[in-house]
Amino acid sequence: MDAINKYQVSADILSEFVEVAIHSILYNRGLYPQGVFQRRKKYNVPVQMCLHPDVTSYICNIIESIKVLLEEGEIEKIVVVILTCHHKPIERFVFEIGTSSVGRNTSDQYLFEMEGSLRSFLLKLTVCDAMLQSLPEDCTWSVHIHTQESAAGKIEEKNVVQNFPWVEADERQTLLEDPKIVPLKTMKSDYFKLQLFVEESSKKKP
Amino acid sequence: MARGRENRRNNDKNKGDGWDGWGGYMKAKQQKLQEQYVKDGISSNIFKGVSIYVNGYTKPSSDELRRLIIQHGGVYQHYLYKTQVTHIIATSIASSKTKELKHMKIIKPEWITDSVAEGKILSYIPYQLYTSQTRIQTGMGGFAADTKTISTTLLKSPNQREYQPQDTNINIDKSPKTTVNQYRNFEDGTDNKEEIDSEHTDDDSILGQYFDDDDDESLVPVAIQKNSEQCLAIETEETLICTIEQDGSTNHKKLSNRLGSLNKNKSVSFSADLTDNSFNSSGHKGEADNIKPNVSSSLKPSVSPNKMAKAGDANFLSEFYGNSRLHHLSTWGAEYKAYVNKLQTENTDHFPGREKLRQFHVECVERTEELDNLQSVKGKPERIIMHVDMDCYFVSVGLLERPDLRGKPVAVTHSRNKGRTAPTQGSDPDYEMKYYRSKRADLGGTNTTSDTVKDEDNDVPPDLRKFDKFQSFAEIASCSYEARKAGVKNGMFMGPAKQLCPELNTIPYNFQKYQQISKQLYDTVASYTHDIEAVSCDEMLVDCTDLLADTGATPLEFATVLRQEIYNKTGCCASAGLASNILLAKFATRKAKPNGQFYLQNYDVIEFIKSQAARDIPGVGWSINRKLSNLNVTTCGDLQNISLATLQKEFGPKTGQSLYKSCRGQDERPIKMEKERKSVSAEINYGIRFQKEHECVKFICDLSEEVHNRLVKVKLKGKVITLKVKVRKGDAPKEAAKFMGHGICNNVSKSITVPLATDDATCISKECISMLHAMKINIQDLRGMGIQMQRLEMEAGTTHNKNTKGNQSILNFTVAKTNTETIKQHSVESTVIDKPQSGSNQLKNNINARKDTKVTKVKSPSSIDINTYKDFHVDDEERNERNISSQPIVSKHRVTLMSGYTLVDELARRKTAKGFLPPLPTLPSFNTPDDKSPVSTTTSIKHDSPMDYFLSPSQVDPDVLSELPSDIREQIEKEMNSRKTKCDTDIIIHNSQEAGCSHWPGSMTSDLSIITSRSPEDDSPIVALPSPSQIDLDCLNALPRELQEELQFAYKQQPNHQTVVTHLQSPTKHCSPGKTRKTSPLFKVPKGRPGKKRKLSPKKLLFSYEKSKSLNKPEINKIREYDDDVISIEDDIIPTLEPDKHNDIDTVDDSVSLCGAVTISQVRSLLKEWLYTCQEPQEEDVDVITAYISQLILDQNLEQVDLVLKFMYRNILKLDNNLWKRSLYNIVNNTQSLIQSVHGSRLNVDYMNTCKINIKNQDYQTIVHMT
């Protein structure tokens, strides 16, 4: 197991999880009508997955490029930003990824615990609307990643092939108005630390 | 025997006839025997000075040999007088005799016949029956002298005609038969020789050819030779029979025979058969039938299983290293670096060479004075680097002993044949070829087809163009310029090289000679200057700026003088390149070669560099060159046209930058006088074929021993042990194409960090074996293995100030604190420091500063640096204390055993290294009833009394004690006795020295903010014993009786301490008036030992510093330092899962905890206890909570922050106490500001708004911004 690259493993796990989580956020925050979602099972819990081909391919593209960076250990945060129709950010679902200082040798060799933790993330996501104010109509969303400086070059390099360019985030899209944090879940594993919290603008309704 | 008896008889009989003096008879007899043949007439003097003794049966017979030798001026000895006999002639020799005659030259009889036929004395070396020398051919030194005599005594005697035709006949006889040989067409030089044969031209040339080839053959890898006398004997027979054309194919057989015979017992009978066979065939030389079987049998590649000295055999390792060119090269490289260092440190300003240079310069100036005076502008400050490189070093050294090969293409290699061998059994060269091809294709990118054709010349390693099954895979280490003309390159395999250059001669390695010449080379250069960077045994960089300024000579003058001197001393040519930096100097050397010098003037640089090939840039290897050619770059000029950005994109930032600079001739590297070693390793990827587990284990032990030796040599110890393993790739064939090579492999490596740097072979091997087991690899698939030691530290006792941060020894941190005041000062200092890096520097300084005082003041052996260990086990220990006789004990035991082992080791070593007794290290103890581990009992202490880290009497295992070295034992006993009597004084000492926390100056200094804010407890030492009130009676009762007594005694002994102890209790203690309050056992321990939580291993400390650095957020650095304060108590969820065996420092869980509570439920109950027992919150306690929450935030655990706050809010609401509310606001406020700084937004605490909390104090209201 030591031969396995720690980043590689965490990249695999995280990219898989983030994909599911994005779908889950989209569903739970009601960004798309419920009809386009289908119930699937992941981590042994029911999750909703968007079936719209454009949405899925967009998410896939995101995940693919995120994965490249995750493998390099470049990503600090992955943020799903929910914007109003005027492109004003009102909610940010922040997946903060940290490297774990815990040693690699573990008994969680088959990642059972990992699965359990991820499952609890998803469950927490499904109930997050209880902790958050409801969204206005016609919201849209985007994904931001917070990386280390060095990642910029890597994105550029890899994206040429993928034809899915990342652009530097507009400050207007990153800054929330009077944000408040609602922590959702935190986990620690041998491979990474992950915490999910929502930054919510206190002025959601215009 | 018969002769002996006769002697005796003769002696008796001849008593009194004048010879009865001591040895008189024998002398007379010998003289008579010698004179006996002289009268036949001496026809030549070729054997002048040679005195032979014939041993056993030979062919031609001893009589014949005697006739020949005497006829040609030699002496025939009937008796083996070691002083008189120069050569022993034998066709085979018993192994017992080989030992006896170890230092004699044992030669095959053909040497005589061939020499006679040649008309001159030939080098005996190719005819050696076996090499007497062990691994490195020492004996070849004597050869140089012999060759000289040859050239002088070269006489054409008429007699030689008699012999020559005979040999040529053989040739003629065989040549038709060779057509049978299906490999004939591959045979190099076949055509050439056949022509000669058919034309019956000059005999000499044929013979010359013949001998040359024979030479090649006899140069068997020495390791094999040593064990295969018998087979070599066969070989001699065969070489007589077989013509040159057959050599190639017979070699297969011979080689395999020889290899087979390594297993001596078996091979004897086997080779005997063969001998018969060859005798037969030699008996019927002319007959085709007899040759055929030989040829055909040779076509069957494996007559016997290939059994070379395999890994696991007794002397494999020494054999391998004896013959490994790379090993020698690397060790020499290091040796010469060390040598140069030594010269530099000796720092004699006496440079005898400079005088010579001055003289030469004066002469030169006189000569050229009128032409130009410009050149000798004295003392010009321009930097000049000279790159000195020997010309095809191995070859030219080899040629010193083989002057006859001068001017011919020569290659140095292990391969003794002509580039063809039988394919190794079970190997599949096709597979490997395919693999390399596909690999090349991968590397080549998309346009493989066109590309491979284009770059073929550049891809030296596996030369695939000429890849064929029967080629030799021996690498050419060095080849002469004649050979290079033919296209042979260094590093090429023998097979393809032979195809390129059929007349390539091979000479074997002579490592001792290389070393000798290298030493001369370095001494020569060192006589001019000490500004030398040793690159390898034949290559160095010399900064001659000073030298030239001193002597006033021009660079070229210096080069001329130096090269001349090198040539005079060593007989080998060196080339020198001079330029203003290292890179250009190396380029200049390329231009200068062979045997020249070149000074690249600054104004020439731009033009010069443009024309250089890009692949010649140092650092540009196979893969970079491939990428470069994809960019259509061949010269540096082309490369200059590429922008830095493109280069960096293509090759990565670092390589791109260096390429960009290199192709412009820029290179700022200074001459490196001293390089710090990063790792020490030993690796063998050749000849590894384990069958059994124990072979492998044995091998690892040997390899560890080797690593140990190397570590000792450089006086270093390593902390990280890495085991690198090559495993046969799943679908790869069992055997590699290269004989005993590793073939295509997967590389697997695994490393482990040991708590103490070690160089102990047993320790290393133990770790490696366990790592190997963990890899779960089939032993038989192992193809290579290496052990590497990293994170090197100087051996204890030597100071290692140059240590880099990563290299820092734990021992550096574990110095006793001498004065609380100073510590405090330091801590204050550190608080000012913003940058974590400088913080750690500061820390280092502090430690260094304190070091001196420590030596003088610390007397008690109890205050030793064992806390290092202690800290590793803090988790275990504390957990253990909580549930005293529960499961995790088992895992903990092993951990102790491991570190205990190294510790004892270290102890012994330091003792020997420093010559005096070190302070006695001890280990934390685990006072579990079932703790029977001897190591942990001896070396451990009771956790209840960390005040003095000394074992309690009950813990001393007398058996173990008696096993200890006497001086250590005495120390322990003495200490124990003194402890019994002098308890009071002890306490005083501890108070002043603060043994407990004094070991943690590192963490103390880093503690800064906490120390200053939570003063009362931090100033005091770490709690020795929990206050009696905190003792859980159940736990106490569960302890063994003697421990209980001890504890009771300890409490009685410590009345003085009680005051201190109360200080040290957890925050809650301050407000709990009644000591009788019964608390849940769960929280007792953490509270009782709050000091513990501030102890962090220095390692972790560094780590967190690095972490904060990488975050690059100076504004939170201060807060991050709380992070250092992390309490390392294991999370209760994971504890039993915590791996034990490979416990290294990194695995210490740094979960954030509040006085030991990690999970939310633990924290909750702790908080609850605090809230409901204290009337009003103490400021320190609030700080503790704040710190805890800060850690949580930084640990990316906002969830828990939220939960904690909510919990506190709920409960404080219930309490309805304004003081508490204020504290809560305080906490919330601090939390919010930290979250604000980390995340840019604040926590949602809207719920607190819903209820109005009456805040009386206006100040708080203004500070607190809650929505």
Partners of residue A188 in chain B, C-beta under 8 Å: 1151, 1197
Shortest Cα distance, chain A CAs vs residue B1163, angstroms: 16
Shortest Cα distance, chain B CAs vs residue A133, angstroms: 12
Q: Do B1243 and A176 touch (CB under 8 A)?
A: no
Q: pLDDT-derived band of residue A25, with 50, 70 and 90 as boundaries?
A: very high
Write phi, then psi, for B710 (nearest 5 degrees): -70, -40
Do the Cβ atoms of B680 and B793 come closer than 8 Å? no
Q: pLDDT-derived band of residue B310, with 50, 70 and 90 as boundaries?
A: low
CA-to-CA distance for A8 and A25, rounded, in angstroms? Answer: 25
Partners of residue B726 in chain A, C-beta under 8 Å: none
Do the Cβ atoms of B525 and B543 come closer than 8 Å? no
CA-to-CA distance for B766 and B718, rounded, in angstroms? Answer: 15
Partners of residue A184 in chain B, C-beta under 8 Å: 1199
- CB contact, 8 Å: B852 with chain A? no
Q: Read off the pLDDT of residues B926-973 as tens digits, 9 standing for 90 and up.
A: 443 443 434 333 333 334 434 445 555 556 666 776 777 777 777 777
User: Mutating which of B745, B1199, B1201 best tests the A interface, going by the most A Cβ atoms within 10 A?
Assistant: B1199
Q: Do B1149 and A102 touch (CB under 8 A)?
A: yes
State the pLDDT at residue A93.
92
Nearest Cβ partner of A180 from B1142, B1144, B1241? B1241
Nearest Cβ partner of A184 from B649, B1142, B1199? B1199
Nearest to A98 by CA among B1160, B874, B1198, B839: B1198
Percentage above 70 pLDDT, chain B:
46
Q: Please compute the mean of the pLDDT values over residues B520-546 and round it to a whole number.
A: 83
Write phi, then psi, for B1156 (nearest 5 degrees): 100, -15
Q: pLDDT-derived band of residue B1035, with 50, 70 and 90 as boundaries?
A: low
Partners of residue A185 in chain B, C-beta under 8 Å: 1199
Q: Read off the pLDDT of residues B801-819 as tens digits, 9 standing for 90 and up.
A: 333 333 333 333 333 333 3
Q: pLDDT-derived band of residue B1040, with 50, 70 and 90 as boundaries?
A: low
Nearest Cβ partner of B1137 from A96, A98, A107? A107
User: Mutating which of B1110, B1152, B1239 best tests the A interface, going by the most A Cβ atoms within 10 A?
Assistant: B1239
pLDDT above 90: residue B1025: no
Q: pLDDT-derived band of residue A23, with 50, 70 and 90 as boundaries?
A: very high
For residues A135 and B98, which has the higher predicted lDDT (pLDDT)?
A: A135
State the pLDDT at residue B1049.
65
Element (H, E) at B934: helix B934-939
Partners of residue B875 in chain A, C-beta under 8 Å: none
pLDDT above 50: residue B993: no
User: Which pairing describes strands A140-147 and A75-83: parallel, antiparallel, or unpaired?
Assistant: antiparallel
Q: Please compute the mean of the pLDDT values over residues B59-66 and round it to a whole number.
A: 81
B1037: how many CB neighbours lie within 10 A of its CB?
A: 9
Which one-letter amino acid corresponds to residue B200?
H
Q: Do B1199 and A186 touch (CB under 8 A)?
A: yes
Q: Read off the pLDDT of residues B315-363 as tens digits, 9 standing for 90 and up.
A: 666 666 766 666 777 777 777 777 777 777 776 667 777 777 777 777 7
pLDDT above 60: residue B120: yes
Would you state the structure tokens that stand for residue B828, as one six-digit string?
């204050």
Would you state the structure tokens that stand for residue B541, as one six-digit string?
């960089």
- CB contact, 8 Å: B801 with chain A? no
Q: Do B1201 and A107 touch (CB under 8 A)?
A: no
Q: Do B1240 and A188 touch (CB under 8 A)?
A: no
Residues from A in contact with B at Cβ < 8 Å: 2-3, 94, 96, 98, 101-108, 153, 157, 175-176, 179-186, 188, 193, 195, 197, 199-200, 202
Query: Residue B1201's closest chain A neighbor by CA?
Result: A183
Partners of residue B1197 in chain A, C-beta under 8 Å: 186, 188, 195
State the pLDDT at residue A55.
92
Shortest Cα distance, chain B CAs vs residue A35, angstroms: 32
- ∠ Cα B1144 B1149 B1152 (to 5°): 155
| CA separation, residue B24 to residues B11, B17, B33, B299, B956 (Å) | 10, 10, 14, 58, 77
pLDDT above 50: residue B1145: no
Would you state the structure tokens that stand for residue B479, as one six-digit string?
């080849």
- CB contact, 8 Å: B1148 with chain A? yes
pLDDT above 80: residue B1056: no
Write phi, then psi, for B257 (nearest 5 degrees): -60, -45
Shortest Cα distance, chain B CAs vs residue A89, angstroms: 14
State the pLDDT at residue B400.
84
Burial environment of residue B445 by CB neighbours within 10 A (0 to 12, 13 to 18, 19 or more): exposed
| CA separation, residue B823 to residues B480, B947, B1012, B1023, B1127 (Å) | 67, 19, 11, 18, 21
Would you state the structure tokens that stand for residue B814, as one six-digit string?
């574990």
Which ipTM value was assigned to this complex? Answer: 0.85
B984: how many CB neighbours lie within 10 A of its CB?
A: 10
Percentage above 90 pLDDT, chain B:
0
- Highest mean pLDDT of the ranges A39-53, A181-195, B82-96, B894-908: A39-53
Alpha carbons within 13 angstroms on the beta-carbon side of residue B407 total 2
Sign, CA torsion B961/B964/B966/B968: negative
For residues B982 and A12, which has the higher predicted lDDT (pLDDT)?
A: A12
Which one-letter amino acid corresponds to residue A179?
P
Least confident of A150-154, B509-513, B542-546, B1010-1014: B1010-1014
Q: Please compute the mean of the pLDDT values over residues B1045-1054 and round it to a whole number.
A: 63
Q: Do A153 and B1235 touch (CB under 8 A)?
A: no
Q: Read off the pLDDT of residues B572-613 as tens digits, 9 standing for 90 and up.
A: 888 888 888 888 888 888 888 878 888 888 887 888 888 888
Q: Do B1149 and A193 touch (CB under 8 A)?
A: no
For residues A91 and B1041, which has the higher predicted lDDT (pLDDT)?
A: A91
Q: Read off the pLDDT of residues A73-103 as tens digits, 9 standing for 90 and up.
A: 888 889 999 988 888 888 899 998 887 765 5
State the pLDDT at residue A18.
92
Largest CA-CA distance found in chain A, in angstroms, rounded? 53
Nearest Cβ partner of A101 from B749, B1103, B1198? B1103
Nearest Cβ partner of B1196 from A182, A195, A200? A195
pLDDT above 50: residue B1209: yes
Nearest Cβ partner of B1199 from A102, A104, A183? A183
pLDDT above 80: residue B1204: yes
CA-to-CA distance for B1057 and B947, rounded, in angstroms? Answer: 10
State the pLDDT at residue B165.
38
Shortest Cα distance, chain A CAs vs residue B753, angstroms: 11
Q: pLDDT-derived band of residue B1037, with 50, 70 and 90 as boundaries?
A: low
Q: Do A184 and B750 touch (CB under 8 A)?
A: no
pLDDT above 90: residue B686: no
Q: Please compute the mean of the pLDDT values over residues B1060-1077 and round it to a whole number.
A: 37
State the pLDDT at residue B801.
37
Q: pLDDT-derived band of residue A138, with 50, 70 and 90 as boundaries?
A: confident
Walk across the sheet containing B782-794 and list its strands. Answer: B680-684, B782-794, B716-728, B745-758
Do the Cβ atoms of B1239 and A176 come closer than 8 Å? no
Mean per-residue pLDDT over chain B, rounded? 61
Q: How many helices and strands in chain A, by DSSP H and E?
A: 6, 7
Partners of residue B1267 in chain A, C-beta under 8 Å: 180, 202
Q: pLDDT-derived band of residue B429, with 50, 70 and 90 as boundaries?
A: low
Q: Do B649 and A153 touch (CB under 8 A)?
A: yes
Percentage above 90 pLDDT, chain A:
23
DSSP symbols for B601-627: -GGGHHHHHHHSBGGGSTT--HHHHHH
Sign, CA torsion B362/B366/B371/B373: positive
- CB contact, 8 Å: B1196 with chain A? yes
Least confident of B89-103, B117-131, B850-864: B850-864
Element (H, E) at B708: helix B693-714
